[in-house]
Amino acid sequence: MPNPLAFPLWALGVLGQDKSFVANPILGSPALNRLGLHRGRVALAARAARLRRAWMADRLDPADRAALDRDGFLIRPDYLPGETFEALRREVLGRPLPAWEMRQGQTVTRMIPLTEATRPLLPLAVATVRAPRLDRLAGYAAGRAGAPIHFVQTVIAEPDRGEADPQTELHADTFHATSKFWLFLHDVGEQDGPFVFVPGSHRLTPERLEWEYRQSLTARDDPRPHHRFGSFRITAAELAALGLPAPRRIAVRANTLVVADTFAFHGRAPSARPTMRIELHGHLRRNPFLPWNGLDPLRLPGLSGRALDIHLAMLDRRARRGHPVVWTNVGLVRADAPPVI
Ligand SMILES: [Fe+2]
């Protein structure tokens, strides 16, 4: 039985980024969704993102903006000058660094924060992810400028372990525009579990809005956990019914930058053999309803570049008290080491 005292928090969540049809019973209510609650949030967030993007558009390279507008993602090979990229690889891959790990089925994700705490160890990596051009791209793709969270991400697939990786299902991360970027430190081939993306699926068409509405009526009781939690999964047949193209595998060379709006349908291609990929990663997700850019509290002095440090310190404290946590502190580990957990 939900705790009615939490009602004000749920109501606030409806006005913000809350997406879970389980954790927030207002969002999960089939009756409210029949009245159009989810559909209204999706439509309003998309309208607000259009407005905020129009204000940001001038600050982008026209080719970058055209790619994001058309496809919902962009791919920039040879992103850094060759020598800078080699120096970056040496810096990131050279030694053990403070790391956290998460297991999802057969895939382990390792996170090495790129924050104020790790800047003395990884100055070039931190400077790279905080470059103004990347900030602008992340803001535009997210439909709202702000302070992204940055880390070195290692994705290790161990197909022998057998369990499915939930991120290999095509999905949207949430109900509104939100962005992620990756600067790949290695080549990722067709068979290495590359990123998969459905071009143009970031657009809120009438068909997509209707699909969102239909999902919202049953999402609370869907057997797929991430679907229940508001990150909708979509099947190949549904994609075709929405008039969307087949997913595209994004095989990349080392030193390629990919920026994407992950309201679009995307996933990780399943990998038949053990693979590891390492990338500088950023993500940006903000309240989708507020009609302005910037003014991100995470830019305030004292918080700037520290949000992830603070979050991980809280997780570590919870873990020490015996609570389950998503990210496990694994101490000092090389970015390219086998999984610890
Ligand atoms: Fe995702």
Cα of 4 vs centre of ligand 1, distance in Å, is 32
Which protein residues have a CB closer than 5 Å to ligand 1 (ion)? Answer: 173
Question: Rounded to an integer, what distance in angstroms lies between the CA atom of residue 201 and that of residue 203?
Answer: 5
Q: Residue 179 C-alpha to ligand 1 middle, in angstroms? A: 10
What Rg value do the Cα atoms of the chain yield, rounded? 20
Strands 266-268 and 97-104, how do they pair?
A: unpaired
At 2 the pLDDT is: 59
Question: Residues 6 or more apart from 133 whose CB is under 8 A from it?
Answer: 61
Q: Which tens digit of pLDDT belongs to each residue from 274-332?
A: 889 999 999 999 889 888 777 777 777 777 888 899 999 999 999 999 988 889 999 99
Report how far ligand 1's centroid is from the alpha carbon of 1 (Å): 30
Tell me the domains of the chain and their CATH numbers: 17-286+299-333 (2.60.120.620)
Rounded to two decimals, what is the model's pTM?
0.93
> How many A from CA of 125 to the centre of ligand 1?
23
- Which parts of the chain register pLDDT below 70? 1-5, 162, 166
The token pair that represents 26 in the structure block: 């207002």
Tokens 């928090």: give the residue. 9
Q: How far is the CA of 195 from the centre of ligand 1 (A)?
A: 10
Position 268 scores a pLDDT of 87
Residue 39 CB neighbour total at 10 angstroms: 19
CA of 116 to the centre of ligand 1 (A): 26
